[in-house]
């Protein structure tokens, strides 16, 4: 479904991604794990058309996304939930939720989709007419996930959903993502800093550090977490690059 090859991105002179390759299959849940500043957010932003790549290819259903506008990539069925939530604070919860359906003038399913999503996030219903800026962090995270799903995307990318949230709320967020995935046949690509939750949640994991993929494997094969820890913290670079090639 999604193939990224040799993707490189820099900001000014700083290299954020130095030739990254990942792939995501239809209905998979894939996770990118890496420390702060590894380039995880840049990877998702580049796929969504938010930052221009320096080189490389990004294909979605065989279609080349490089150079496409973000709004057109969204129309192909890719939805990004960026890090830091980004609710439109002065807009009401309702307006936030419907923004995508307004933009794509596809309102056929909007009402029924909204009601179904509110089934997962009943708190949002209570806050329906309030400015989204007044919601708590957890409520905002739920709002942006619901908002991203309103346009019926096939690939949903979530950037650090746990950032700044209490562990209990993070659990709810992940349970909801999994339930929605099962119900709607979604494909998920999720970034996180910590791998613990990812091992339960996803089918495959990439470890990204300093703009490179250092490890890639099926979650089932990485359950002890040893290889991930080594890739993550950068011990034994030689050893790990060997592992990563084997896995790829």
Partner 1 sequence: MINFAQTFIDALSLGSLYALAALGIGLLFGILRLINFAYGDLITLGAYALIIPSTEAVATLFIGGWPWFMVIIAVAVIVVAAALLSDLLVFRHIRRADPATLMIASFAVSFVIQNVILMFYGSRPKSVDLWSNLNYQIAVGGLRIPLLQIVTILATLVLMGGLTLLLKRTALGIQMRAAAEDFRMARYLGVRGNLVIGLAFAISGVLAAVASLLLLSQTGTLSQTMGVPLMLFAFIATVVGGMGSLIGAATGGFAVAFASVFLQAYLPDDLRPFRDSFVFGIVILMLLFRPAGLVPTKALVERV
The residues binding partner 1 (CB under 8 A) are 48-50, 69-71, 74-75, 79-80, 82, 86, 88-91, 95-96, 98-100, 102-105, 133, 147-148, 151
CB 109 within 8 A of CB 152: yes
Nearer to partner 1, 75 or 181 (CB): 75
- Cα 124 to Cα 58, 97, 115, 140: the distances in Å are 35, 10, 11, 9
CB 168 within 8 A of CB 136: no
Q: How far is the CB of 138 from partner 1 (least distance, A)?
A: 19
Neighbours of 84 (CB within 10 A): 13
Q: How far is the CB of 134 from partner 1 (least distance, A)?
A: 11
Nearer to partner 1, 39 or 49 (CB): 49
Nearer to partner 1, 13 or 167 (CB): 13
CB 159 within 8 A of CB 32: no
Q: How far is the CB of 23 from partner 1 (least distance, A)?
A: 22
- Cα 129 to Cα 95, 98, 99, 116, 226: the distances in Å are 9, 13, 14, 18, 48
Q: How far is the CB of 118 from partner 1 (least distance, A)?
A: 18
Q: How far is the CB of 78 from partner 1 (least distance, A)?
A: 9
Residue 144: which of 160, 129, 168, 126 has the closest Cα? Answer: 160
Nearer to partner 1, 89 or 234 (CB): 89
Nearer to partner 1, 118 or 144 (CB): 144
């Amino acid at each position: 479904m999604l193939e990224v090859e040799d993707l490189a991105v820099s900001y000014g002179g700083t290299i954020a991604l130095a030739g990254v390759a990942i792939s995501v299959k239809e209905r998979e849940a894939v996770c990118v794990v890496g420390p702060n500043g590894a380039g995880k957010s840049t990877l998702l932003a580049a796929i969504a058309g938010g930052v221009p790549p320096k080189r490389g290819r990004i294909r979605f259903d065989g279609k080349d996304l490089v150079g496409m506008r973000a709004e057109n990539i969204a129309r192909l069925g890719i939805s990004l939930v960026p890090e830091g939530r980004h609710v439109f604070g002065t807009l009401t919860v309702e307006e936030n939720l419907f923004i995508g359906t307004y933009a794509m003038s596809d309102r056929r399913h909007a009402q029924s989709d909204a009601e179904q999503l509110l089934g997962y996030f009943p708190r949002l219903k209570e806050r329906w007419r309030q400015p989204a800026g007044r919601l708590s962090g957890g409520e905002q995270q739920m709002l942006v996930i619901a908002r991203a799903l309103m346009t019926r995307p096939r690939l949903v990318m979530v950037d650090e959903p746990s950032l700044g949230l209490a562990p209990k709320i993070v659990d709810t967020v992940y349970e909801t993502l999994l339930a929605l995935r099962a119900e709607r046949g979604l494909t998920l690509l999720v970034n996180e800093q910590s791998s613990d939750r990812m091992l339960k949640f996803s089918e495959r994991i990439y470890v990204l550090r300093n703009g490179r993929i250092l490890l890639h494997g099926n979650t089932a094969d990485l359950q002890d977490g040893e290889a991930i820890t080594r890739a993550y913290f950068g011990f034994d670079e030689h050893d790990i690059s060997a592992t990563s090639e084997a896995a790829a």
